A and B are shown apart, each in its own frame.
Chain A
Amino acid sequence: METSVKFEDLTKEFEDVVAVDHLNLKIEKGEFFALLGPSGCGKTTTLRLIAGLEQPTEGKIFLNNEDVSSYPPKERDVAMVFQDYALYPHMTISENIGYPLKVRGVAKEDRQERIKEAAENLQIGELLDRRPSQLSGGQQQRVSVARALVHEPSVFLFDEPLSNLDARLRIEARTFLRHLQKELGITTIYVTHDQSEALALADRIAIMEAGQARQVDAAQKVYHEPADTFVANFVGSPPMNLLQCRVNMEGETPILETENNTISFTNLENRLQRLKERDELILGIRPEDMDLTLNVDQDEQLTGLVGEIYAVETLGAQVLFSVKIGNSMIRVREMSSEKVSQLAVGDDVSVEINEDRVLYYDAEDKALIN
């Protein structure tokens, strides 16, 4: 695969903050790549560095194998879509879409043709004579994408383009963007703080924190095998449960001791080779990889995780339980069923864990143990 965008030790410092910290990344041609992270993680600064709106303090940016680090924005052949769409209120939709062409001195007839083409691509052909204020948020968003599209850039840059839309429109626009990007095959870099958006749209995701990429992987992999506890905690809604525990040997059988419970996994021995050296671990378990059972007999000696239901939230087809175990809270997501609907706040439950899906993280460096 051909490389479209590459960073080498890309660093950006503002007065006393390091926004981007020696970032190394390769983005392939035609890829839909998301930069995901909490606010202040450096994702937007990274995007602005690619556009040339900021100058790197250190490091290099390559576009199509050319070092563009010192190029002004217009020589980079990129197009950017902003969160607020940045449509010019005094221009018609047609003039807005055609603005990049006008600045670049494209002849008027040629311009009209390309505006029409871009507008039809975005299904806004009938809006060309209106002004931005006469359009809905979703339509304005399409206009801003059309304006980015019109001069056929080699890279598309999106800065949270969907966050000003309401929930229903956002999903519609998301599907549309994904479809359009695959159809056009233009390399796309997409900044968002919304993990579900990144998972839905991107081929690959870089999860950023404090100016560094914590994990760069395919969306599926980011979700199922978060590289460290930060990613585990950031991706997924609700996020992965993280349980601190201690490894104890009971003869040949390893036992995991949490705050006030013990867990024994049947296949833990197979994994023990990797786990043996450590006596402290963090277990990562997705809410959907656990099951709740009501404890009917109070006197029975229970093994495994035992706790009390703290809250029940209905999520349509699923129900989210928060279970208080000692001082920690665990979230369990169940498909709603008759059995589940009987569980209520205050019930004593035991939590069964789908062992095969458990991830083990080092308690020291918080990294995934493979």
Chain B
Amino acid sequence: MISKKTAFFFLLPALVLIFIFLIFPAFWTLYYSLTDYSLLGASTEFIGVQNFINLFTSARFWNATILSFEFVFFSAIIGQAGVGLLLAMLFHRKSGWLKKLVRNLAVASWLIPAVVVAYAWAAFLDKEYGLLNQIIGIFGFTGIDWLNEVPMGSIIIFNIWRGAAFSMLLFTSALKTIPPSHFETADVVGASLWDKIKDIVLPQLKTFIGSDLALITLWTFNLFTPFLLTGGGPGRQTEILPIYTYFKAFKYMEFGLGAAISAVILFINLTLALVYLNYLKAE
């Protein structure tokens, strides 16, 4: 038996790192959010909640917040989790080259660095030379300027493609916890794929789905990569919160305000995490 003291000693290096790189910056950010710290201004003053008042009265902030929720809802909750679950179901209890191919492609899309993926997508969606428009052209349709005409749709599809693999892998393992006889009973009585998802998978995988949604929601909320596709535009059509933060903090050098937006994101994330954790606890 290891004593509590020894155990703490083993944990110490990790705790130190977590403190330096996660906890300290978080509190540092919270502190800055109460100042007018700026690379352009001369001195840094403590200004209380003024940054937050400015934020909450700014249409641009509300636009970014609503876009972020839209982005999370459609690309993560509906998209990644939905597509991941569907793929996992389609290949559940099956084997063969198609399963291996889809699985490997999905994992590859998840392993390739985000920047590479983003540029690949930018190339894919390009109006003049993009593969998508070329394919559309074969069928006699005229392609459109995807990133300018359906910018939100584009970054949502991009994020689904990018992240569905994680949910697929998680659900593939989770499905293995359901005895095969449960699905076979459903097969014998003639249940459809949707029946099986609704009557067997969703109720029995609640906790797995909860964990998956918690993780991908937080990841997607903090995701900055869409910037590489649309730069937050055109206009502010894809300016989700992380991109808005970037503009404020690093373009206009208003660190104090940037920190305030980060604090809001932190607050939203913490709230969502608590909701999910509570749900998982209840299950």
Residues of A within 8 A of B (CB): 51-53, 72-75, 78-80, 82-86, 88-91, 99-100, 103-104, 147, 151
Q: What 0/1 pattern do residues 148 to 187 of B give for CB contact below 8 A with A?
A: 0000000000000000000000000000000101101111
Flag B2-14 by CB within 8 Å of A: 1 or 0 each.
0000000000000
Residue of A nearest to B196 (CB): A103
Q: Report which of A79, A82, A88, A151 forms a contact with B199, defined as CB distance below 8 A.
A: A88
Contact A86 B204 (CB under 8 A): no
In the complex, 13 of the A-B residue pairs with CB atoms within 8 angstroms, ordered by the A residue number, are A51-B188, A53-B184, A72-B190, A74-B187, A78-B188, A79-B189, A82-B181, A88-B182, A88-B204, A89-B204, A100-B190, A104-B190, A151-B189
B146 to chain A, nearest CB (A): 41
B191 within 8 A of A: yes
Tell me which residues across on chain A come within 8 A of B187, comparing CB atoms: 52-53, 73-74
State the majority secondary structure of interface residues on A: loop
In chain A, what residue has the closest Cβ to B186? A103
Question: What's the minimum C-beta distance from B122 to chain A, rounded to whole angstroms?
Answer: 44
Q: How distant is B226 from chain A, measured CB to nearest CB, in Å?
A: 38
Interface residues on B, range: 10 to 19
The answer for the CA separation of A299 and B185 in the assembled complex, in Å, is 68
Ranked nearest first, the 10 interchain pairs of A and B with the lowest CB-CB distance are A74-B190, A86-B181, A100-B189, A82-B181, A90-B203, A86-B185, A73-B188, A103-B191, A80-B188, A73-B187
A147→B199 CA distance, assembly (Å): 15
CB distance from A192 to the nearest CB of B (A): 16
Greatest chain A CB density within 10 A among B182, B184, B185, B204 is at B185
Q: Say whether B273 faces chain A, with CB atoms less than 8 Å apart.
A: no
Minimal Cβ-Cβ distance residue in A for B200: A88
Most-contacted residue by chain B among A51, A84, A85, A99 (CB, 10 A): A99
Write out the residue numbers on chain B whose beta carbons fall within 8 Å of the beta carbon of A147: 185
Measured between beta carbons, the chain A residues less than 8 angstroms from B185 are 80, 82, 86, 99, 147
- Give complex CA distance A89, B204 in Å: 8
Question: Which of B186, B190, B199, B203 is the most central at the interface, judged by chain A CB atoms within 10 Å of its CB?
Answer: B190
CB contact under 8 A between A74 and B195, given known A84-B181, A88-B182? no
For the complex, give the distance between the alpha carbons of A85 and B200 in Å: 15
Contact B188 A103 (CB under 8 A): no
- Whole-angstrom CA separation of A51 from B183 in the bound complex: 13
In the complex, residue of chain B having the shortest beta-carbon distance to the beta carbon of A105: B190
Chain B residue nearest to A150 in the complex (CB) = B189
CA distance A99 to B191 in the complex (A): 9
What's the minimum C-beta distance from A97 to chain B, rounded to whole angstroms?
12
Q: Which chain B positions have C-beta within 8 A of A104?
A: 189-190
Q: In the assembled complex, which residues on chain B have CB atoms less than 8 Å from the CB atom of A74?
A: 187-190
